[in-house]
């Protein structure tokens, strides 16, 4: 973890450091080696949060875009279950930054637990992910809404990244570590087709920092634009699987 409590203050790791875990209160030891990012580890056990993954430089860069108080925040649900959210904004949005492979069951569990969740996925983990993703984009039909281009991908199963993340009805941003670009897989409720929009990374960071509730408006605006696009194109709502109201409440969409 990036932070532990040292004399009750949230502190980063330092050589010889000893601290307390924010989540389980047990003792933490600072690891400040040459090759890995400096971090804290539990002294006597594995990580207390089963959802926790070891952090990369990429994780840290993402966290560093946000205030310290928003990073590694313990989130409780009504039953008393708790987990450490990578980032929790002042408006209650959880931003989960994910590098490793994660099962569908765990994605579902996290979506259900956090509700108002946005994922940022490391698209650079596997070289084939990048190739297949771009090949799907090239083959897609594109249309433009204001200055945002939306790709309408008829065969989402061709790209593992798109296939895996297109079925969860929550916003997913893929980061290929390229310039200022993120790719947003829009949260529709269909797996037959995927809608992917190019999104500027600095705009994402700006919105998340200043007014994260604006994500509702932007995503719903894009979803409505998709609806209009299909209405104009086919005269019917062929692909309409847009859970606008449920998304607004931060819940997964209904089965259609
Ligand atoms: Zn702990």
* 241 close to 144: Cβ distance less than 8 angstroms: no
Going from the Cα of 54 to the center of ligand 1, the distance in angstroms, rounded, reads 14
Reported confidence tier of residue 234, pLDDT bands at 50, 70, 90: low
Going from the Cα of 218 to the center of ligand 1, the distance in angstroms, rounded, reads 36
Beta bridge mates, 29? 18, 41
Going from the Cα of 28 to the center of ligand 1, the distance in angstroms, rounded, reads 8
Buried b / exposed e across 13-45, counting CB within 10 Å, b at 16+? beeebebbbbbbeeebbbeeeeeebbbbbbeee
Each residue's pLDDT tens digit, 163-200: 999 988 899 999 999 889 999 999 887 788 999 999 99
Going from the Cα of 34 to the center of ligand 1, the distance in angstroms, rounded, reads 24
Going from the Cα of 249 to the center of ligand 1, the distance in angstroms, rounded, reads 31
* 182 close to 200: Cβ distance less than 8 angstroms: yes
Q: Is the dihedral of CA 234, 238, 239, 241 positive or negative?
A: positive
Cα–Cα distance between 173 and 227 in angstroms, integer? 21
Each residue's pLDDT tens digit, 190-229: 788 999 999 999 999 999 999 988 988 888 889 888 888 8
Going from the Cα of 122 to the center of ligand 1, the distance in angstroms, rounded, reads 25
| pLDDT of 96 | 97
Reported confidence tier of residue 235, pLDDT bands at 50, 70, 90: low
Each residue's pLDDT tens digit, 42-64: 998 778 999 998 899 999 999 99
Predicted structure pTM score: 0.88
- Phi and psi at 220, nearest 5°, equal -65, -35
Going from the Cα of 24 to the center of ligand 1, the distance in angstroms, rounded, reads 4
Reported confidence tier of residue 249, pLDDT bands at 50, 70, 90: very low
Residue 248: is its pLDDT beyond 50? no
Q: What spatial distance separates the first Cα and last Cα of the chain, rounded to whole Å?
A: 40
Going from the Cα of 255 to the center of ligand 1, the distance in angstroms, rounded, reads 37
Going from the Cα of 116 to the center of ligand 1, the distance in angstroms, rounded, reads 24
Going from the Cα of 247 to the center of ligand 1, the distance in angstroms, rounded, reads 32
């Amino acid at each position: 973890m990036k932070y532990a409590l040292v004399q009750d203050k949230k502190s980063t790791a330092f050589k010889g450091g000893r601290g307390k875990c924010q989540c389980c209160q047990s003792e933490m030891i600072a690891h400040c080696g040459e090759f890995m990012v400096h971090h804290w580890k539990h002294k006597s056990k594995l990580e207390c949060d089963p959802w926790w993954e070891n952090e990369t430089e990429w994780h840290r860069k993402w966290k560093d875009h946000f205030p310290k108080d928003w990073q590694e925040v313990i989130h409780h649900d009504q039953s008393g279950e708790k987990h450490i959210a990578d980032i929790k904004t002042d408006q209650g949005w959880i931003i989960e930054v994910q590098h490793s492979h994660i099962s569908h069951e765990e994605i579902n569990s996290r979506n259900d637990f956090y509700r108002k969740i946005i994922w940022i996925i490391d698209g650079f983990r596997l070289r084939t992910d990048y190739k297949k993703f771009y090949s799907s984009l090239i083959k897609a039909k594109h249309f433009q809404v204001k200055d945002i281009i939306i790709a309408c991908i008829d065969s989402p199963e061709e790209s593992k990244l798109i296939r895996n993340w297109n079925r969860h009805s929550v916003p997913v941003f893929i980061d290929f570590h390229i310039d200022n670009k993120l790719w947003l897989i829009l949260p529709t409720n269909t797996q037959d087709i995927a809608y992917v929009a190019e999104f500027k990374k600095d705009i994402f960071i700006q919105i998340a920092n200043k007014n994260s509730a604006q994500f509702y408006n932007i995503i719903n605006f894009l979803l409505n634009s998709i609806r209009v696009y299909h209405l104009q194109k086919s005269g019917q709502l062929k692909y309409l699987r847009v859970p606008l109201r449920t998304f607004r409440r931060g819940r997964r969409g209904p089965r259609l």
